[in-house]
Structures are given as C-alpha cells and as structure tokens.
Amino acid sequence: MGEIKPANASLSWEKVALMNFGVDFSLWNGLLSGTAEYYLKNTSDILLAYNVPFEVGIAQSQSPSQNVAKVRNRGFELALSHRNQIKKFSYNIGANFSINSNKIVDLASSNNIINNLSGGHGVAKYILKEGESIGSFYGFKSDGLYTQEEIDAGRYYKYGGIIPNAGDTKFVPQRDIAWKEEINDDDRTIIGCEVPKFTYGINLSMNYANFELSAFGQGVSGADVAFEVYQVHPFFHGQDNPRKYHLGRWTTSNPNPHANYPRIYTANDPHTAYNRAFNEYQVFDADYFRLKTLTLGYNIPKSLINQWGITSLKFYITGENLLTLRADKKMKDFDPETAGSTIQALGTKSLAFGVNLSF
C-alpha cells in the first residue's frame, strides 16, 4: 500500500504572469526576414511538498502539497530566414536560436529539496534550491582519481569511514577540512544541470534545374546528463552492460589519474560505496548537433513523361540521423536527444528511396 498524504483543501491553480516583446522584420525585398522575441515568465503558487515540523508526526515524503513555490523563466528567441534566386538556382536558409534562464525564486522557507533522479536507484540526485535552476544535479565535485603517491603521502579524504585507494575518485570538499578528515553530505554541491542554456536549429532547401536538396539539423548547448546507471550499475549491481569507454578505466597497468572510470572492485568490497557516491564522474556533457534529415531529389522533365499521361515524377533518397556530433567523446553510444539516468539506444540511421508519381 502506498503512502497516504494529508489532504489540503486550500489548493489552487498555479498562476502565470507573462511579459514579452517581439518584432517581425523583412529586409531587402524579402532577402532576409525573421522574428525576435524577449520574454519574462513568472510562475507562482507552484505545488510543493512543504516541510512540516517533526512534531506533526509524518515523514517528509508524506508532507501535504501547498501552493508555495515560485519560478522565473526569461529568455530570447530569434528566427532568421534568407531566400534568393540566381537564374536556375534558388535556395532558402533558415535558422533559429533560443536562450533561456530558469531560476527558482522562492521555496517559501522550505529547506532545499533533494530527490533521487528518476530511474537512478538512489544514486543520482536533483536539488531544488532558491537561486538555482530546476534540473540541477547535486553531488560531489571530483578532481580526477587518487594516485598512489597521494595515498602514501596522506593527501586524501575519507568518505563513509573508508580510506581511498589509488584509482578511487578524488572528491573535492566544499568545507575547509584537513587531509585524512571525513567528507560528508555537507560537501555536496551543484555539479551540473540537465536544462540546456541554448537550443538551435537550421534548415536548408536548394533547387537547381530539376534537382532538389533539403536538410534539417538541431542541437543544444550548456546541458548535462547524469548516466549514473551505466557508470555504476554494470559493476555494482550486476545490471546492464559495460560500455566501450569503460576499457579506459583505472588499473594498475593504467594508473591514469584522469582515466575514464575509477578503480573496479568486487561487489562486497566496501570501496564500491566510495566510488558509488554521486559525483562528477557520473555527469556528462550533453551538448550535441544532429543532422536529422537530408533529402536529395530529381524531377523527371515533363517533356519525357507527359506523353504517358504523367504530370510529375520525382525520385528521391532520404537519410535520417546520418550525423551526430557530441561534446563528450566518451559517450558515443547514447542518444543525446534523451534525458534521464538510462542511456537510450541511438536514433536509427536510415536511408530510404522513394518515388512521387502524379497523373
């Protein structure tokens, strides 16, 4: 039976206040046109499980929802289009760009709210914190992996009472503590955000005589993704398969302090908990650009087909997901258009040949 939350008869709808300024323009007889818009969106009375005193006798997960939180989004959107024709050659190039800043304005004196990442099995964490963005990851900063020289010299921090070995993650404390002291949850901080700062797209269409070419691509910048399932579970939980980049892990024969992956232990070794703590090693740069579609077509001249009662005949070939560029080269086998803690299979690359026939 699931948890039962106390009812709140005073709940109401969220409120949104939106202000925007925009302009549409067309220059040089339509050679360049576009739209530009600035917006400011304030959302208040957002439902939030508000912290209640312990004396009430209910767990935090059972706290009743109240209309207390406030979030602000502000951003700028720009779309441009350029078209022209030079004798038999015509083209149209379009591009769009948007930037958005998301900030939690008020949690109504509630403490920072830390939640497990959906599908994260208790490892990856989100935090809701005033002044920060929704979708912020909360964990330990890391500075590579410990070397044997650092361990021998006592230049390390314990975690969970465990003294690290060479090849273990080098957590960076956020407090002023001495070597060999204990890092704890107070040393966690924001280590990334899944909400992109920029999104963009570009489309192209060209015609020359009977040939046609069109393309569309899109991407994001300033986004992170926490794939802790694939960083942790292949070895610590017996789930999923290791990835190719795990071959670059730390070993005694490859004591690289910046290896792709920390030292590996057996399942019952206590050091597994040390490296399992959610940290920057489990957060990846999710910036990408993907060529979504590319189509090349040829229209058969009407002089060759009209005698057969055909008004138009076009042959074309279309490719989908032919090219994906990623900022993080280690993660070549994940689909950057997905989010969450589970890596999704890459979007299928495909080539299709087709015919458009009209009578």
Q: Does any domain span residue 179?
A: yes
Q: Does any domain span residue 26?
A: no
Report d(CA 133, CA 197) in Å as an integer.
11
The stretch 166-183 carries a mean pLDDT of: 94
Report d(CA 281, CA 275) in Å as an integer.
9
**Structure-model confidence comparison of residues 61 and 309, the more confident one:** 309
Residue 322: CA count within 13 A, CB half-sphere: 13
Q: Does any domain span residue 213?
A: no
% of the chain residues with pLDDT over 70: 82
- Tally the domains of the chain: 1
Q: Hey, is 307 helix, strand or coil? A: helix
Q: Does any domain span residue 188?
A: yes
pLDDT digits (tens, 9 = 90+) for 21-52: 999 999 988 889 999 999 999 988 777 766 66
Q: Does any domain span residue 233?
A: yes
Domain span holding position 130? 112-195+224-285
Edge-to-edge, what's the strand order for the sheet holding 312-326?
15-27, 32-49, 65-86, 89-106, 198-208, 211-221, 288-299, 312-326, 350-358
Q: Does any domain span residue 63?
A: no
Q: Does any domain span residue 150?
A: yes
CB 172 within 8 A of CB 144: no
pLDDT digits (tens, 9 = 90+) for 62-93: 666 776 788 999 999 999 999 999 988 999 99
Report d(CA 101, CA 287) in Å as an integer.
17
The stretches of the chain forming alpha helices (DSSP H) are 148-152, 228-236, 271-276, 302-305
The secondary structure of 124-157 as a DSSP string is SEEEE-TTS-TTEEEEBEEEEE--HHHHHTT---
pLDDT at residue 251, rounded to an integer: 92
pLDDT at 227 over 60: yes
Backbone φ and ψ of 150, nearest 5°: -65, -40
Residue indicated by tokens 């138009």: 312
